[in-house]
Amino acid sequence: MLNANDRLVYHGREMNRRCKAALAQAEDDLGYELTIFQGGFRPVTSFSGSTHTGGGVVDLSAWHWQEKSRALFDAGFVPFHRTEADGDWEEHIHCVLAGDPTLAASSAAQVESWKNGRSGLVSNGPFKGVRYVKFSKNFHTFDWPQKPKKVPLGPGERVHTIISRTHSHEEPDFDSEPVNLLTRGKEKTFKAKIRHGDIHWFQTEEGNWVANTKTRPGRGLPKRDSTD
């Protein structure tokens, strides 16, 4: 049985399965691979303290940190933008996956600090990152069931439109190999769906899988406001 707390290596850094799935979602939204400086399950250090001793925490490259922060919030992380002025480290994004039960106590306290508009640092200064109101707990909080049942789709349910850039996957799981890159507005015909945790996956006619968070039923998308 897949367990969200299972430890694995992703992009060369140790973390749990839940954290990897959240990072993969952010990467799908951004359209590029994230550079990870530090993962979890590490010893106490002079620069990170105990925040990386548990799971659900990573440090990322600060390049395009505002854009990354929005995608990370959507995936369930609280992203803290750390500059060289904040401590003895290079600029980076310190990401804590809210609600992850494997978080170190110090990392969980950083989430509470963020909720109060603070930095999560010992200095208790103001939060200086992107204050993004769309943050919400999502499917990464849950373990995935062992044998979900695949359900065929009826004729009226089969055509969906891709609403954001994403990959299809070999299995209905963000941990599986990405296959085809799908762009916004592309129409796909699906033949079945399956539920993993709090998310449904649709199976393409080629046999690959797309998360329902990336699709909407029917043909076409509403036109974007020209003032956006």
pLDDT band at residue 136, thresholds of 50, 70 and 90?
very low
Domains and CATH numbers, the chain: 7-141 (3.30.1380), 151-217 (2.30.30.40)
Where residue 106 falls among pLDDT bands split at 50, 70, 90?
very high
Once rounded to an integer, what is the mean pLDDT over residues 44-70? 89
Q: Note the pLDDT of residue 147.
A: 47
Summarize pLDDT for 59-87 with one digit per residue, the tens: 999 988 988 998 898 888 999 999 888 88
Cβ burial, residue 214 (10 Å; 0-12/13-18/19+): buried
116, pLDDT greater than 70:
yes
Instruction: Tell me which DSSP letter residue 150 carries.
Output: P
Question: What's this model's pTM, rounded to 2 decimal places?
Answer: 0.59
**pLDDT of 1 over the 60 cut:** no
Return d(Cα 47, Cα 175) in angstroms, integer. 30
Q: How far is CA 151 from CA 3, 193, 202, 203, 212, in A?
A: 23, 5, 10, 10, 14
